[in-house]
Amino acid sequence: MYLYELPTTGNISFSDLCIDQSPGRTYTTCILEATQARANIRTALKGSKRTEDNAKDFLSLTKVLEDYLPLIRGLINCADQCDIDFKSKVSFSWRSTLSNNILNNSPRVEVPGLYADLAFTLLTYAFTLSNLAHATVQSIGAYELDRTITKVQRERKDEQLNVAFGLLCKASGIFSYIADTLLSEWETSGGGGSDASKLPPDLKQEVLTALSKLALADAQSLAIRKRLSKAAFENNIAPGPPLPSSHPPVSFIAKLHLECASLYGSAKTLAKAGGNNISSEIRKYLTDRIAFHTALSHKWLGIEAGEKGGMDRAGDAVAFLAWAKEELETLKDSNPSLHIVKGDKEKTKRSQLLDELESTDTFYTYYKKMNDSLHFQSLPTQADLKSRIPAGLAAAQMRPYTPPSPAFGPGSLEDVDRQTGGPEIGDELTESPASRKGPSNYAGAGSYF
Protein backbone atom coordinates (compact mmCIF):
# COMPACT_ATOMS: atom_id res chain seq x y z
CA MET A 1 0.00 0.00 0.00
CA TYR A 2 1.20 3.49 -0.81
CA LEU A 3 2.14 5.76 2.11
CA TYR A 4 1.80 9.45 1.27
CA GLU A 5 3.98 12.25 2.50
CA LEU A 6 1.48 14.71 3.96
CA PRO A 7 1.80 18.38 2.99
CA THR A 8 2.16 21.29 5.38
CA THR A 9 0.55 24.68 4.96
CA GLY A 10 1.30 28.29 5.80
CA ASN A 11 -0.54 30.37 8.34
CA ILE A 12 -3.52 32.53 7.41
CA SER A 13 -6.05 34.52 9.45
CA PHE A 14 -9.52 34.88 7.98
CA SER A 15 -10.31 37.26 10.85
CA ASP A 16 -7.71 39.69 9.49
CA LEU A 17 -8.64 39.23 5.83
CA CYS A 18 -12.42 38.97 5.84
CA ILE A 19 -14.98 41.77 5.99
CA ASP A 20 -18.35 40.64 7.32
CA GLN A 21 -20.89 42.49 5.19
CA SER A 22 -23.94 40.52 6.30
CA PRO A 23 -26.80 42.31 8.12
CA GLY A 24 -25.85 42.60 11.77
CA ARG A 25 -22.44 41.08 11.01
CA THR A 26 -23.90 37.61 11.43
CA TYR A 27 -20.76 35.75 10.40
CA THR A 28 -18.06 37.39 12.54
CA THR A 29 -17.99 34.49 15.00
CA CYS A 30 -18.03 31.97 12.14
CA ILE A 31 -15.00 33.66 10.59
CA LEU A 32 -13.17 33.33 13.92
CA GLU A 33 -14.07 29.62 14.07
CA ALA A 34 -12.79 29.09 10.52
CA THR A 35 -9.50 30.80 11.44
CA GLN A 36 -9.07 28.54 14.47
CA ALA A 37 -10.02 25.37 12.60
CA ARG A 38 -7.49 26.08 9.87
CA ALA A 39 -4.82 26.87 12.46
CA ASN A 40 -5.57 23.47 13.99
CA ILE A 41 -4.88 21.82 10.62
CA ARG A 42 -1.57 23.65 10.26
CA THR A 43 -0.51 22.62 13.78
CA ALA A 44 -1.57 19.00 13.27
CA LEU A 45 0.26 18.69 9.94
CA LYS A 46 3.45 20.22 11.33
CA GLY A 47 3.22 17.88 14.32
CA SER A 48 2.71 14.87 12.05
CA LYS A 49 5.77 15.87 10.01
CA ARG A 50 7.92 15.77 13.15
CA THR A 51 6.53 12.42 14.37
CA GLU A 52 7.98 9.01 13.58
CA ASP A 53 5.94 7.05 11.02
CA ASN A 54 4.81 4.36 13.46
CA ALA A 55 3.59 7.00 15.95
CA LYS A 56 1.61 9.27 13.61
CA ASP A 57 -2.02 9.77 14.64
CA PHE A 58 -3.84 9.78 11.31
CA LEU A 59 -7.24 9.26 12.93
CA SER A 60 -6.99 12.50 14.93
CA LEU A 61 -5.77 14.32 11.83
CA THR A 62 -8.82 13.19 9.83
CA LYS A 63 -11.05 14.69 12.55
CA VAL A 64 -9.22 18.04 12.38
CA LEU A 65 -9.63 18.11 8.60
CA GLU A 66 -13.30 17.14 8.83
CA ASP A 67 -13.93 20.00 11.27
CA TYR A 68 -12.60 22.57 8.80
CA LEU A 69 -14.40 21.41 5.65
CA PRO A 70 -17.89 22.76 6.54
CA LEU A 71 -16.31 26.06 7.58
CA ILE A 72 -14.37 26.66 4.36
CA ARG A 73 -17.51 25.75 2.40
CA GLY A 74 -19.39 28.35 4.42
CA LEU A 75 -16.76 30.98 3.60
CA ILE A 76 -16.98 30.13 -0.10
CA ASN A 77 -20.77 30.37 -0.21
CA CYS A 78 -20.82 33.65 1.73
CA ALA A 79 -18.14 35.12 -0.54
CA ASP A 80 -20.14 34.04 -3.60
CA GLN A 81 -23.18 35.90 -2.21
CA CYS A 82 -21.06 38.94 -1.23
CA ASP A 83 -21.95 38.50 2.45
CA ILE A 84 -18.20 38.28 3.07
CA ASP A 85 -15.59 40.33 1.25
CA PHE A 86 -11.80 40.44 1.51
CA LYS A 87 -9.40 43.28 2.23
CA SER A 88 -6.91 41.90 -0.29
CA LYS A 89 -6.41 38.99 -2.66
CA VAL A 90 -6.49 35.69 -0.75
CA SER A 91 -3.87 33.04 -1.47
CA PHE A 92 -2.80 29.95 0.43
CA SER A 93 0.61 28.36 0.84
CA TRP A 94 0.83 24.55 0.62
CA ARG A 95 3.63 22.11 -0.04
CA SER A 96 3.28 20.05 -3.22
CA THR A 97 4.15 16.55 -2.00
CA LEU A 98 3.67 14.88 -5.39
CA SER A 99 6.14 17.09 -7.26
CA ASN A 100 9.24 15.51 -8.76
CA ASN A 101 11.68 18.10 -7.41
CA ILE A 102 15.39 18.25 -8.24
CA LEU A 103 16.24 18.81 -4.56
CA ASN A 104 14.06 15.84 -3.57
CA ASN A 105 11.93 17.98 -1.27
CA SER A 106 8.36 19.24 -1.36
CA PRO A 107 8.24 22.68 -2.99
CA ARG A 108 5.99 25.32 -1.47
CA VAL A 109 3.35 26.67 -3.86
CA GLU A 110 1.02 29.65 -3.59
CA VAL A 111 -2.51 28.93 -4.78
CA PRO A 112 -5.12 31.71 -5.07
CA GLY A 113 -8.67 31.73 -3.74
CA LEU A 114 -10.82 29.83 -1.27
CA TYR A 115 -11.42 26.97 -3.72
CA ALA A 116 -7.68 26.34 -3.75
CA ASP A 117 -7.67 25.86 0.02
CA LEU A 118 -10.72 23.59 -0.16
CA ALA A 119 -9.04 21.51 -2.88
CA PHE A 120 -5.79 21.12 -0.94
CA THR A 121 -7.69 20.34 2.28
CA LEU A 122 -9.68 17.60 0.55
CA LEU A 123 -6.51 16.28 -1.08
CA THR A 124 -4.83 16.12 2.34
CA TYR A 125 -7.94 14.45 3.75
CA ALA A 126 -7.77 11.71 1.10
CA PHE A 127 -4.02 11.27 1.70
CA THR A 128 -4.67 10.95 5.42
CA LEU A 129 -7.45 8.37 4.97
CA SER A 130 -5.09 6.33 2.78
CA ASN A 131 -2.34 6.58 5.40
CA LEU A 132 -4.81 5.60 8.12
CA ALA A 133 -5.64 2.49 6.09
CA HIS A 134 -1.91 1.79 5.75
CA ALA A 135 -1.39 2.16 9.53
CA THR A 136 -4.37 -0.09 10.24
CA VAL A 137 -2.95 -2.87 8.08
CA GLN A 138 0.52 -2.44 9.55
CA SER A 139 -0.91 -2.80 13.06
CA ILE A 140 -2.35 -6.29 12.44
CA GLY A 141 0.78 -7.76 10.86
CA ALA A 142 0.85 -11.02 8.88
CA TYR A 143 -1.76 -12.55 11.18
CA GLU A 144 -2.91 -15.19 8.70
CA LEU A 145 0.55 -16.78 8.90
CA ASP A 146 0.45 -17.02 12.71
CA ARG A 147 -0.01 -20.69 13.56
CA THR A 148 -1.08 -19.88 17.14
CA ILE A 149 -3.86 -17.43 16.32
CA THR A 150 -7.43 -18.40 17.27
CA LYS A 151 -10.41 -18.21 14.94
CA VAL A 152 -11.88 -15.30 16.92
CA GLN A 153 -8.59 -13.38 16.78
CA ARG A 154 -8.23 -13.99 13.05
CA GLU A 155 -11.78 -12.82 12.35
CA ARG A 156 -11.19 -9.65 14.37
CA LYS A 157 -8.14 -8.89 12.27
CA ASP A 158 -10.17 -9.63 9.14
CA GLU A 159 -12.50 -6.86 10.28
CA GLN A 160 -9.54 -4.49 10.54
CA LEU A 161 -8.81 -5.27 6.90
CA ASN A 162 -12.44 -4.38 6.19
CA VAL A 163 -11.96 -1.01 7.87
CA ALA A 164 -8.81 -0.27 5.87
CA PHE A 165 -10.60 -1.37 2.69
CA GLY A 166 -13.41 1.09 3.37
CA LEU A 167 -11.01 3.95 4.08
CA LEU A 168 -9.30 3.43 0.73
CA CYS A 169 -12.61 3.29 -1.16
CA LYS A 170 -13.59 6.54 0.56
CA ALA A 171 -10.24 8.15 -0.33
CA SER A 172 -10.76 7.06 -3.95
CA GLY A 173 -14.10 8.88 -3.97
CA ILE A 174 -12.57 12.08 -2.59
CA PHE A 175 -9.77 12.12 -5.18
CA SER A 176 -12.41 11.61 -7.88
CA TYR A 177 -14.63 14.37 -6.45
CA ILE A 178 -11.78 16.89 -6.61
CA ALA A 179 -10.95 15.85 -10.19
CA ASP A 180 -14.47 15.69 -11.60
CA THR A 181 -16.41 18.27 -9.58
CA LEU A 182 -14.33 20.66 -7.51
CA LEU A 183 -11.88 21.69 -10.22
CA SER A 184 -14.82 22.59 -12.47
CA GLU A 185 -16.47 24.62 -9.69
CA TRP A 186 -13.18 26.37 -9.08
CA GLU A 187 -12.81 27.24 -12.76
CA THR A 188 -16.42 28.47 -12.98
CA SER A 189 -15.92 30.67 -9.92
CA GLY A 190 -13.09 32.53 -11.65
CA GLY A 191 -10.92 31.89 -8.64
CA GLY A 192 -7.73 31.03 -10.51
CA GLY A 193 -8.33 27.37 -11.13
CA SER A 194 -8.83 27.72 -14.87
CA ASP A 195 -5.14 27.75 -15.78
CA ALA A 196 -4.20 24.09 -15.33
CA SER A 197 -0.63 24.77 -16.45
CA LYS A 198 -0.01 26.77 -13.27
CA LEU A 199 -1.44 24.16 -10.90
CA PRO A 200 0.90 21.82 -9.00
CA PRO A 201 0.68 18.17 -10.10
CA ASP A 202 -1.30 17.43 -6.93
CA LEU A 203 -4.30 19.32 -8.34
CA LYS A 204 -4.19 18.27 -11.99
CA GLN A 205 -7.25 16.32 -13.10
CA GLU A 206 -5.29 13.45 -14.62
CA VAL A 207 -3.14 13.03 -11.51
CA LEU A 208 -6.15 13.16 -9.18
CA THR A 209 -7.91 10.51 -11.26
CA ALA A 210 -4.72 8.45 -11.11
CA LEU A 211 -4.73 8.74 -7.31
CA SER A 212 -8.35 7.60 -7.26
CA LYS A 213 -7.42 4.50 -9.29
CA LEU A 214 -4.38 3.88 -7.06
CA ALA A 215 -6.50 3.95 -3.88
CA LEU A 216 -9.01 1.60 -5.48
CA ALA A 217 -6.23 -0.79 -6.52
CA ASP A 218 -4.79 -0.79 -3.00
CA ALA A 219 -8.30 -1.56 -1.69
CA GLN A 220 -8.62 -4.39 -4.22
CA SER A 221 -5.37 -5.90 -2.94
CA LEU A 222 -6.79 -5.89 0.61
CA ALA A 223 -9.94 -7.59 -0.66
CA ILE A 224 -7.77 -10.38 -2.08
CA ARG A 225 -5.93 -10.75 1.21
CA LYS A 226 -9.21 -10.92 3.13
CA ARG A 227 -10.58 -13.59 0.78
CA LEU A 228 -7.46 -15.70 1.28
CA SER A 229 -6.93 -15.23 5.04
CA LYS A 230 -8.65 -18.41 6.23
CA ALA A 231 -7.07 -20.58 3.54
CA ALA A 232 -3.65 -18.97 4.16
CA PHE A 233 -3.93 -19.87 7.84
CA GLU A 234 -4.96 -23.47 7.09
CA ASN A 235 -2.26 -23.87 4.43
CA ASN A 236 0.48 -22.39 6.63
CA ILE A 237 1.61 -25.66 8.24
CA ALA A 238 2.21 -27.43 4.92
CA PRO A 239 2.36 -24.76 2.19
CA GLY A 240 1.71 -25.77 -1.39
CA PRO A 241 -0.64 -28.18 -3.12
CA PRO A 242 -3.22 -29.45 -2.54
CA LEU A 243 -5.11 -26.34 -1.55
CA PRO A 244 -7.35 -26.51 1.56
CA SER A 245 -11.09 -26.95 1.06
CA SER A 246 -11.69 -23.44 2.44
CA HIS A 247 -9.76 -21.88 -0.45
CA PRO A 248 -11.87 -19.59 -2.67
CA PRO A 249 -12.11 -20.51 -6.38
CA VAL A 250 -8.64 -20.13 -7.84
CA SER A 251 -9.81 -18.53 -11.09
CA PHE A 252 -11.65 -15.94 -8.97
CA ILE A 253 -8.42 -14.98 -7.19
CA ALA A 254 -6.58 -14.76 -10.52
CA LYS A 255 -9.24 -12.40 -11.88
CA LEU A 256 -9.00 -10.19 -8.79
CA HIS A 257 -5.24 -9.84 -9.35
CA LEU A 258 -5.81 -9.05 -13.03
CA GLU A 259 -8.16 -6.22 -12.04
CA CYS A 260 -5.55 -4.95 -9.58
CA ALA A 261 -2.93 -4.82 -12.31
CA SER A 262 -5.40 -3.06 -14.61
CA LEU A 263 -6.22 -0.38 -12.00
CA TYR A 264 -2.55 0.29 -11.29
CA GLY A 265 -1.94 0.39 -15.05
CA SER A 266 -4.68 2.98 -15.55
CA ALA A 267 -3.26 5.03 -12.69
CA LYS A 268 0.21 4.96 -14.26
CA THR A 269 -1.11 6.05 -17.66
CA LEU A 270 -3.10 8.91 -16.12
CA ALA A 271 -0.18 10.04 -13.96
CA LYS A 272 2.04 10.15 -17.04
CA ALA A 273 -0.62 12.19 -18.86
CA GLY A 274 -0.43 14.70 -16.02
CA GLY A 275 3.15 15.54 -16.93
CA ASN A 276 6.67 14.47 -16.03
CA ASN A 277 6.77 16.43 -12.79
CA ILE A 278 4.96 13.88 -10.63
CA SER A 279 7.23 12.21 -8.09
CA SER A 280 9.40 9.32 -9.24
CA GLU A 281 8.48 7.44 -6.05
CA ILE A 282 4.82 7.17 -6.95
CA ARG A 283 5.64 6.25 -10.56
CA LYS A 284 7.98 3.51 -9.30
CA TYR A 285 5.28 2.23 -6.94
CA LEU A 286 2.75 1.94 -9.77
CA THR A 287 5.25 0.17 -12.05
CA ASP A 288 6.10 -2.38 -9.37
CA ARG A 289 2.48 -3.04 -8.41
CA ILE A 290 1.52 -3.67 -12.03
CA ALA A 291 4.32 -6.21 -12.32
CA PHE A 292 3.53 -7.82 -8.94
CA HIS A 293 -0.19 -8.37 -9.53
CA THR A 294 0.36 -9.45 -13.13
CA ALA A 295 2.77 -12.11 -11.87
CA LEU A 296 0.31 -13.27 -9.21
CA SER A 297 -2.48 -13.54 -11.78
CA HIS A 298 -0.21 -15.88 -13.75
CA LYS A 299 0.59 -17.82 -10.58
CA TRP A 300 -3.08 -18.45 -9.80
CA LEU A 301 -3.94 -19.26 -13.41
CA GLY A 302 -1.19 -21.88 -13.23
CA ILE A 303 -2.54 -23.27 -9.97
CA GLU A 304 -6.03 -23.38 -11.47
CA ALA A 305 -4.71 -25.44 -14.39
CA GLY A 306 -2.94 -27.79 -11.99
CA GLU A 307 -5.82 -28.14 -9.52
CA LYS A 308 -8.71 -28.45 -11.97
CA GLY A 309 -7.17 -29.48 -15.26
CA GLY A 310 -5.44 -32.68 -14.21
CA MET A 311 -3.48 -34.39 -16.93
CA ASP A 312 -4.97 -32.30 -19.75
CA ARG A 313 -3.61 -28.99 -18.40
CA ALA A 314 -0.41 -30.07 -16.66
CA GLY A 315 1.67 -28.22 -19.25
CA ASP A 316 -0.37 -25.05 -18.77
CA ALA A 317 0.19 -25.22 -15.00
CA VAL A 318 3.95 -25.49 -15.35
CA ALA A 319 4.14 -22.76 -18.03
CA PHE A 320 2.02 -20.24 -16.11
CA LEU A 321 3.95 -20.85 -12.89
CA ALA A 322 7.31 -20.62 -14.68
CA TRP A 323 6.17 -17.30 -16.16
CA ALA A 324 5.07 -16.00 -12.74
CA LYS A 325 8.32 -17.16 -11.16
CA GLU A 326 10.36 -15.36 -13.81
CA GLU A 327 8.36 -12.14 -13.34
CA LEU A 328 8.73 -12.20 -9.55
CA GLU A 329 12.47 -12.88 -9.84
CA THR A 330 12.83 -9.89 -12.17
CA LEU A 331 10.86 -7.70 -9.77
CA LYS A 332 12.98 -8.85 -6.85
CA ASP A 333 16.21 -8.09 -8.72
CA SER A 334 15.02 -4.58 -9.56
CA ASN A 335 14.07 -3.88 -5.92
CA PRO A 336 16.84 -5.08 -3.63
CA SER A 337 15.45 -2.97 -0.79
CA LEU A 338 12.23 -5.01 -0.87
CA HIS A 339 13.95 -8.25 0.11
CA ILE A 340 13.91 -7.28 3.78
CA VAL A 341 11.62 -4.63 5.21
CA LYS A 342 12.53 -2.81 8.41
CA GLY A 343 10.03 -3.22 11.23
CA ASP A 344 9.63 -1.87 14.74
CA LYS A 345 12.82 -1.67 16.84
CA GLU A 346 14.92 -2.50 13.76
CA LYS A 347 13.64 -6.07 13.67
CA THR A 348 13.29 -7.49 10.18
CA LYS A 349 10.43 -9.24 8.50
CA ARG A 350 10.05 -10.97 5.18
CA SER A 351 8.52 -8.97 2.38
CA GLN A 352 5.34 -9.94 0.55
CA LEU A 353 7.36 -10.25 -2.64
CA LEU A 354 9.75 -12.80 -1.16
CA ASP A 355 6.89 -14.82 0.32
CA GLU A 356 5.04 -14.93 -2.99
CA LEU A 357 8.18 -15.95 -4.84
CA GLU A 358 8.72 -18.83 -2.43
CA SER A 359 5.08 -19.91 -2.73
CA THR A 360 5.20 -19.77 -6.53
CA ASP A 361 8.38 -21.84 -6.57
CA THR A 362 6.75 -24.47 -4.33
CA PHE A 363 3.79 -24.88 -6.70
CA TYR A 364 6.05 -24.78 -9.77
CA THR A 365 8.33 -27.51 -8.40
CA TYR A 366 5.36 -29.73 -7.53
CA TYR A 367 3.56 -29.44 -10.88
CA LYS A 368 6.78 -29.70 -12.89
CA LYS A 369 7.65 -32.94 -11.10
CA MET A 370 4.14 -34.28 -11.79
CA ASN A 371 4.35 -33.33 -15.46
CA ASP A 372 7.88 -34.71 -15.90
CA SER A 373 7.01 -38.05 -14.29
CA LEU A 374 3.31 -38.64 -15.08
CA HIS A 375 1.70 -36.37 -17.67
CA PHE A 376 4.49 -35.42 -20.12
CA GLN A 377 2.54 -32.44 -21.49
CA SER A 378 4.39 -29.98 -23.73
CA LEU A 379 4.61 -26.41 -22.43
CA PRO A 380 2.68 -23.70 -24.33
CA THR A 381 4.43 -20.47 -25.26
CA GLN A 382 3.77 -17.23 -23.41
CA ALA A 383 1.95 -15.94 -26.49
CA ASP A 384 -0.38 -18.91 -26.27
CA LEU A 385 -0.87 -18.36 -22.54
CA LYS A 386 -1.72 -14.67 -23.11
CA SER A 387 -4.60 -15.67 -25.37
CA ARG A 388 -6.15 -17.61 -22.47
CA ILE A 389 -6.01 -14.86 -19.85
CA PRO A 390 -9.53 -13.82 -18.78
CA ALA A 391 -10.79 -10.35 -17.93
CA GLY A 392 -10.31 -9.01 -14.43
CA LEU A 393 -12.96 -8.87 -11.72
CA ALA A 394 -13.53 -5.91 -9.38
CA ALA A 395 -14.04 -6.40 -5.64
CA ALA A 396 -13.53 -2.73 -4.72
CA GLN A 397 -15.70 0.18 -5.78
CA MET A 398 -15.14 3.88 -5.31
CA ARG A 399 -17.42 5.43 -2.69
CA PRO A 400 -18.76 8.70 -4.12
CA TYR A 401 -17.93 11.63 -1.88
CA THR A 402 -20.70 13.93 -0.67
CA PRO A 403 -19.30 17.15 0.79
CA PRO A 404 -20.64 18.27 4.18
CA SER A 405 -23.20 21.06 4.37
CA PRO A 406 -21.69 24.51 4.86
CA ALA A 407 -21.37 25.36 8.55
CA PHE A 408 -22.97 28.77 7.95
CA GLY A 409 -24.33 30.95 5.17
CA PRO A 410 -26.23 29.84 2.06
CA GLY A 411 -26.96 26.11 2.06
CA SER A 412 -26.29 25.69 5.78
CA LEU A 413 -28.74 24.33 8.37
CA GLU A 414 -29.10 27.88 9.66
CA ASP A 415 -30.10 29.06 6.19
CA VAL A 416 -32.62 26.23 5.83
CA ASP A 417 -34.08 27.10 9.25
CA ARG A 418 -34.48 30.72 8.20
CA GLN A 419 -36.21 29.80 4.95
CA THR A 420 -38.56 27.31 6.60
CA GLY A 421 -39.48 29.44 9.60
CA GLY A 422 -36.77 28.61 12.14
CA PRO A 423 -35.51 25.57 14.04
CA GLU A 424 -37.77 23.07 15.76
CA ILE A 425 -38.72 23.63 19.38
CA GLY A 426 -35.94 22.39 21.61
CA ASP A 427 -33.10 23.18 19.21
CA GLU A 428 -30.24 25.16 20.69
CA LEU A 429 -30.61 28.82 19.73
CA THR A 430 -27.55 30.18 21.48
CA GLU A 431 -24.88 28.33 19.50
CA SER A 432 -23.13 29.91 16.55
CA PRO A 433 -24.28 28.89 13.06
CA ALA A 434 -20.89 27.23 12.44
CA SER A 435 -21.39 24.84 15.34
CA ARG A 436 -24.51 23.33 13.76
CA LYS A 437 -22.81 20.90 11.38
CA GLY A 438 -25.31 18.07 11.29
CA PRO A 439 -24.49 14.42 11.96
CA SER A 440 -20.89 13.33 12.35
CA ASN A 441 -19.19 11.69 9.39
CA TYR A 442 -16.13 10.25 11.07
CA ALA A 443 -13.33 8.73 9.01
CA GLY A 444 -14.14 5.07 9.69
CA ALA A 445 -17.90 5.31 9.19
CA GLY A 446 -19.22 2.56 6.94
CA SER A 447 -15.74 1.17 6.31
CA TYR A 448 -16.75 -2.43 5.65
CA PHE A 449 -17.09 -4.71 2.64
- DSSP states of 55-89: G--HHHHHHHHHHHHHHHHHHHHHHHTTSEEESS-
**Is the model's pLDDT at 193 over the cut of 70?**
no
Question: What is the reported pLDDT for 349?
Answer: 43
On whether residue 220 sits in a domain, the answer given is: yes
Question: What is the reported pLDDT for 199?
Answer: 83
Of the candidates 9, 59, 60, 62, the one whose C-alpha atom is nearest the C-alpha of residue 38 is: 9
On whether residue 438 sits in a domain, the answer given is: no
Of the candidates 58, 29, 2, the one whose C-alpha atom is nearest the C-alpha of residue 285 is: 2
d(Cα 293, Cα 296) in Å, to the nearest integer?
Answer: 5
- Read off the pLDDT band of 184 (50, 70, 90): very high
Q: What percent of the chain has pLDDT over 70?
A: 87
| 341: number of Cβ within 10 Å | 13
Lowest mean pLDDT segment, chosen from 21-25, 85-89, 91-95, 421-425? 421-425
| 274: number of Cβ within 10 Å | 22
d(Cα 245, Cα 248) in Å, to the nearest integer?
Answer: 8
Q: Which residues contact 386 (CB under 8 A, 6 or more apart)?
A: none
Lowest mean pLDDT segment, chosen from 180-184, 226-230, 350-354, 362-366? 350-354
CATH number of the domain that residue 95 is part of? 1.25.40.280
Work out the burial of residue 256: count CB atoms within 10 Å of its CB; fewer than 13 is exposed, 13-18 middle, 19 or more buried: buried
On whether residue 441 sits in a domain, the answer given is: no
**Is the model's pLDDT at 444 over the cut of 60?**
no
| Average predicted confidence (pLDDT) for the chain | 88
d(Cα 101, Cα 33) in Å, to the nearest integer?
Answer: 35
CA distances (Å), origin 5, targets 8, 58, 199, 238, 279: 10, 12, 19, 40, 11
pTM (whole model) above 0.75: yes
Higher pLDDT, 246 or 39: 39
Lowest mean pLDDT segment, chosen from 71-80, 225-234, 424-433? 424-433
On whether residue 4 sits in a domain, the answer given is: no
Contact 314, 370 (CB under 8 A): yes
Mean pLDDT of 338-358: 61
On whether residue 90 sits in a domain, the answer given is: yes
Mean pLDDT of 298-308: 94
Q: How many independent structural domains does the chain possess?
A: 1
On whether residue 97 sits in a domain, the answer given is: yes
Question: What is the reported pLDDT for 343?
Answer: 44
Question: What is the reported pLDDT for 425?
Answer: 46
Mean pLDDT of 241-267: 95
Greatest alpha-carbon pair distance for the chain in Å reads: 91
Mean pLDDT of 251-275: 96
Task: Please report, in angstroms and rounded to a whole number, the separation of the first and last CA atoms in the chain.
Answer: 18
**Is the model's pLDDT at 347 over the cut of 60?**
no
On whether residue 98 sits in a domain, the answer given is: yes
**Is the model's pLDDT at 151 over the cut of 50?**
yes
pLDDT tens-digit map of 305-314: 998 877 789 9
d(Cα 297, Cα 310) in Å, to the nearest integer?
Answer: 20
Mean pLDDT of 177-205: 83
On whether residue 114 sits in a domain, the answer given is: yes
Domain of 103, in residue numbers: 14-386
**Is the model's pLDDT at 13 over the cut of 60?**
yes
Higher pLDDT, 15 or 437: 15
Max mean pLDDT among 242-246, 334-338, 403-407 falls in 403-407
Question: What is the reported pLDDT for 207?
Answer: 96
**Is the model's pLDDT at 27 over the cut of 60?**
yes
pLDDT tens-digit map of 203-251: 999 999 999 999 999 999 999 999 999 998 888 777 788 898 889 999 9
Question: What is the reported pLDDT for 239?
Answer: 77
pLDDT tens-digit map of 96-147: 999 876 555 778 999 999 999 999 999 999 999 999 999 999 999 989 888 8
Helices 151-177 and 114-140 cross at an angle (nearest 10°) of: 160
- Read off the pLDDT band of 430 (50, 70, 90): very low
